[in-house]
Amino acid sequence: MARLSQARLQELNHTLNDRTPEELLRWAADIFGSRLAVISAMQMAGSVVCHMVAQLKLGIPVLFVDTGVNFQETLTTRDRIAAEYGLAVHTLLPELSMEQQTNQFGILYLTTEGQEQCCHMRKVEPLLTQKGKYDCMIGSLRRADGGKRGVCPILAVDPEMNTVRLNPLANLTNDQMKAYIQQHNVIINPLHDQGYTTIGCNRCTTPVLPHEPKRAGRWRHLGAAAQYCGINPTDMDDATSVSIDLPQDLVDRILGIKTDFMI
Ligand code: SF4
């Protein structure tokens, strides 16, 4: 095994910065083969990634975490994407139903500490059941979303999952995304047309007013303290000093290091 740190990805990220999302997806399919999956919460950018993967016929599966308290519109979007794009969408579930969790721990999402615990149990832990199956997971973070995502790298390491994270849409502007959606009539979660700029669980997501920041509707009841759920490693504060362990030949392929040598 070889260690791959976020710092070692810096030069590659610089090189990949000029690639289109489709080129990045093809690059990932070439490097990671079957050990590659999309992770989507069935929001707008995730739908764009799913559409691109389907168009390119890359055969990449999609992972969706169903917290048990998703909006029905989100579940319908998931089902449409699976059926109409012909993608294998795998739904991951938490160990406890929301009712069981509430009976055991109370209504966690009402406090900042509880929200972290709830998001970990209902979002992060279901994803962790997939640990070891994939070397790269494709997300849909965009720098145009601002906040911590304003500097999100194209490639990041995810130490908790021990995978690379690829954000092929990192450089996609709002106008470019809108144009892609219109051009291809991409399946979009209908809540986006009802004022929901981002969409999470129905307990913790509200629409936003036109003057509010994009993520103002997430955990609104907790004020500014809660902004992210922890499922995307680059949203967290210590994201730059982390590393993962992958097979040496895979690290060499990722970094473009030639391994042709004579023994
Ligand atoms: S968004 Fe709210 S309900 Fe959903 S997992 Fe996080 S704290 Fe729990």
Tokens of 158: 């995810």
Note whether residue 176 is domain-resident.
Answer: yes
- The per-residue pLDDT for 263 is 47
Supply the residue whose CA is at minimum distance from atom 4 of ligand 1.
201
Question: In this structure, what token pair is assigned to residue 105?
Answer: 């721990």
CATH assignment of the domain containing 161:
3.40.50.620
Q: What is the pLDDT of residue 12?
A: 95
Residue 144 C-alpha to ligand 1 middle, in angstroms? 24
Residue 250 near residue 33 (C-beta atoms within 8 A): no
Residue 239 lies in a domain: yes
What distance in angstroms lies between residue 239's CA and the mean position of ligand 1's atoms?
22
Decide whether any atom of ligand 1 lies within 6 Å of the 118 Cβ.
yes
Question: β-strands 136-138, 89-92: how paired?
Answer: unpaired
Q: Which of 152, 201, 204, 229 is catalytic?
A: 229
**How distant, in Å, are the alpha carbons of 122, 126, 205 from that of 227?**
16, 20, 11
Whether 258 maps to a domain, the answer reads no
Q: What angle do CA 47, 50, 52 make, to 5 degrees?
A: 110
The parent domain of residue 231 ranges over: 2-251
Domains of the chain: total = 1
The token duo for 233 is: 């490693």
Q: Is 119 labeled as catalytic in the residue annotation?
A: no
Cβ–ligand 1 distance for 67 under 6 Å, the answer yes
Residue 256 belongs to some domain of the structure: no
Q: Is there a domain that residue 257 lies in?
A: no
pLDDT per residue, tens digit, the chain (263 aa), is: 999 999 999 999 999 999 999 999 999 999 999 999 999 999 999 999 999 999 999 999 999 999 999 999 999 999 999 999 999 999 999 999 999 999 999 999 999 999 999 999 999 999 999 999 999 999 999 999 988 788 899 999 999 999 999 999 999 999 999 999 999 999 999 999 999 999 999 999 999 998 998 888 898 988 876 667 777 777 766 666 789 999 999 999 999 985 555 54
Which numbered atom of ligand 1 lies nearest the CA of 201?
A: 4
Q: Whole-structure pTM over 0.85, yes or no?
A: yes
52, containing H or E segment: helix 44-55
| 25 is a domain residue | yes
CB contact at 8 A, 197 and 217? yes
**Any domain includes 226:** yes
**What local confidence, expressed as pLDDT, does residue 214 receive?**
85
Q: Is residue 263 part of a domain?
A: no
